[in-house]
């Protein structure tokens, strides 16, 4: 049997400790033991989800791509279509913000308790918290003069198609909802944006699931309707109402919605699944939502949800960053579980049983996080 290459071999500059979920296209997960070490996730351990390959001529690396110039077009329902050079964008006023980037499929493997959902079997670590710097999309669009009929923004990426027939990656989002915070980003964590994370230019939509944050963005379309490209339907959508576990589902525009705004969620980063601990432990993790309301609490249970204790929370520097939390708890000897759930100011929280979230592609998992540990 052929051995799976390690993450550092697949992508230059990545930590060999990343979990390889897929080699082509590359999908790498960050283990919780690495994730918990940093307030802002460094590029060498940040997860990767690619649907296709990096754009023609680029390398799978955390270095900056060697491209002479990058341009992004603004077309569609605008008074004046634009072609903007990256060098021009960099001369406009810049904004920097902290934001959780999470794959819509993060936590997918937890659905398998009910029925396996298809796709990379991510656990907790298709997740990062990074600082993005770039120009506000609203400032760029002002120059183009967006017509009132433009309700959707569709972003195209310059990905290498898997085969010439395959549709390109493109993703639509509701324009008015994203406009206040959207960025065209050219820096991550204070450095030029790494190639594998979308450098030299990426659309950043704070609060939205990973897929909407189009890497290597080279065209923005302002249109009256959302794209019906396969990245919009049937992929990256969830049913509007719960469906039976394990059932098949035919996605239509009416019975489903795209993975847009992120669900409220807490994950436990310590202890790790299967870890052996002694009677009193510190439980640590992070919590976040779509940024539309603050996280108000994270609660932890060591008795299968019979009682909950409040963890202490740290605030992020933007509504879209993660809230680190921690609490010391006493755990009963033997095989036991630690649970965690977050609540936000809109009263949104996490279901105890993930069955009601079940969907064929395993998107938007946000059931109460449950970690099995051994207490000696």
Query: Contact positions toward ligand MSS, by CB under 6 A?
Result: 46-52, 101, 103-105, 157, 159, 169, 197-198, 209-211, 213-216
**In whole angstroms, what is the distance from residue 97 CA to residue 193 CA?**
14
Nearer to ligand MSS, 213 or 343 (CB): 213
- The distance of closest approach from Cβ of residue 369 to ligand MSS in the complex, given in angstroms and rounded to an integer, is 19
Nearer to ligand MSS, 141 or 211 (CB): 211
Q: How far is CA 279 from the centre of its chain?
A: 35
**In whole angstroms, what is the distance from residue 53 CA to residue 187 CA?**
21
Nearer to ligand MSS, 198 or 362 (CB): 198
State the sign of the Cα–Cα–Cα–Cα dihedral 346, 352, 353, 358: positive
- The distance of closest approach from Cβ of residue 45 to ligand MSS in the complex, given in angstroms and rounded to an integer, is 11
**Sequential DSSP letters for 84-100:** EEHHHHTTSPPEEEEEE
Nearer to ligand MSS, 228 or 307 (CB): 228
- The distance of closest approach from Cβ of residue 341 to ligand MSS in the complex, given in angstroms and rounded to an integer, is 22
**In whole angstroms, what is the distance from residue 166 CA to residue 231 CA?**
11
Nearer to ligand MSS, 58 or 211 (CB): 211
- The distance of closest approach from Cβ of residue 209 to ligand MSS in the complex, given in angstroms and rounded to an integer, is 5
**In whole angstroms, what is the distance from residue 19 CA to residue 33 CA?**
12
Three-state SS at 212: helix
Can you read off the two tokens belonging to residue 355? Answer: 């069955």
- The distance of closest approach from Cβ of residue 200 to ligand MSS in the complex, given in angstroms and rounded to an integer, is 13
Nearer to ligand MSS, 157 or 321 (CB): 157
**In whole angstroms, what is the distance from residue 350 CA to residue 348 CA?**
7
Nearer to ligand MSS, 209 or 325 (CB): 209
> Are β-strands 71-76 and 217-223 bridged in parallel, bridged antiparallel, or unpaired?
parallel
Nearer to ligand MSS, 154 or 343 (CB): 154
Nearest to 58 by CA among 169, 204, 198, 167: 198
Specify whether the CB–CB gap between 20 and 4 falls below 8 A: yes
**In whole angstroms, what is the distance from residue 76 CA to residue 79 CA?**
9
Q: How far is CA 374 from the centre of its chain?
A: 31
- The distance of closest approach from Cβ of residue 26 to ligand MSS in the complex, given in angstroms and rounded to an integer, is 8
- The distance of closest approach from Cβ of residue 363 to ligand MSS in the complex, given in angstroms and rounded to an integer, is 8
Nearer to ligand MSS, 197 or 219 (CB): 197
- The distance of closest approach from Cβ of residue 324 to ligand MSS in the complex, given in angstroms and rounded to an integer, is 20
**In whole angstroms, what is the distance from residue 73 CA to residue 221 CA?**
8
- The distance of closest approach from Cβ of residue 325 to ligand MSS in the complex, given in angstroms and rounded to an integer, is 23
CA angle (107, 119, 171) in 5-degree steps: 90
State the sign of the Cα–Cα–Cα–Cα dihedral 124, 129, 135, 136: positive
Which residue sits closest to ligand MSS, CB atoms considered? Answer: 157
Three-state SS at 144: helix
């Amino acid at each position: 049997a052929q051995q799976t290459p390690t993450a550092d071999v697949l992508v230059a500059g990545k930590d060999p400790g990343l979990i390889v979920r897929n080699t082509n296209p590359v999908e790498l997960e960050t283990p919780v033991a690495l994730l918990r070490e940093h307030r802002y996730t460094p590029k060498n351990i940040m997860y990767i989800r690619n649907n296709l390959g990096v754009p023609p001529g680029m390398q799978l690396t955390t270095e900056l791509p060697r491209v002479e110039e990058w341009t992004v077009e603004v077309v569609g329902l605008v008074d004046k279509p634009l072609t903007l050079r990256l060098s021009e964008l960099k001369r406009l006023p810049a904004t920097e913000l902290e934001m959780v980037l999470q794959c819509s499929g993060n936590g997918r493997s937890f659905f398998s308790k009910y029925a396996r959902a298809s796709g990379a079997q991510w656990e907790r670590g298709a997740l990062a918290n990074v600082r993005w710097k770039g120009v506000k999309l609203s400032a760029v669009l002002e120059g183009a003069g967006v017509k009132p009929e433009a309700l959707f923004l569709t972003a195209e990426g310059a990905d290498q198609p898997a085969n010439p027939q395959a549709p390109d990656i493109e993703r639509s989002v509701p324009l008015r909802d994203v406009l206040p915070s959207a960025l065209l980003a050219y820096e991550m964590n204070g450095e030029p944006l790494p190639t594998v994370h979308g450098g030299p230019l990426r659309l950043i939509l704070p609060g939205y699931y990973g897929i909407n944050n189009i890497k290597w963005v080279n065209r923005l379309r302002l249109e009256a309707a959302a794209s019906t490209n396969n990245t919009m339907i049937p992929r990256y959508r969830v049913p509007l109402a719960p469906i039976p576990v394990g059932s098949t589902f035919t996605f239509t525009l009416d019975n489903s919605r795209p993975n847009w705004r992120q669900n409220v969620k807490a994950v436990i980063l310590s202890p790790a699944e299967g870890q052996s601990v002694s009677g009193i432990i510190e439980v640590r993790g992070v919590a976040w939502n779509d940024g539309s309301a603050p996280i108000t609490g994270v609660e932890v249970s060591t008795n299968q949800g019979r009682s909950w204790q409040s963890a202490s929370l740290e605030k992020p520097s933007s509504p879209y960053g993660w809230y680190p939390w921690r609490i010391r708890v006493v755990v009963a000897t033997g095989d036991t579980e630690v649970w965690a759930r977050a609540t936000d100011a809109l009263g949104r929280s996490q279901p105890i049983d993930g069955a009601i979230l079940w969907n064929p592609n395993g998107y938007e998992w946000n059931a109460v996080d449950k970690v099995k540990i051994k207490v000696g």
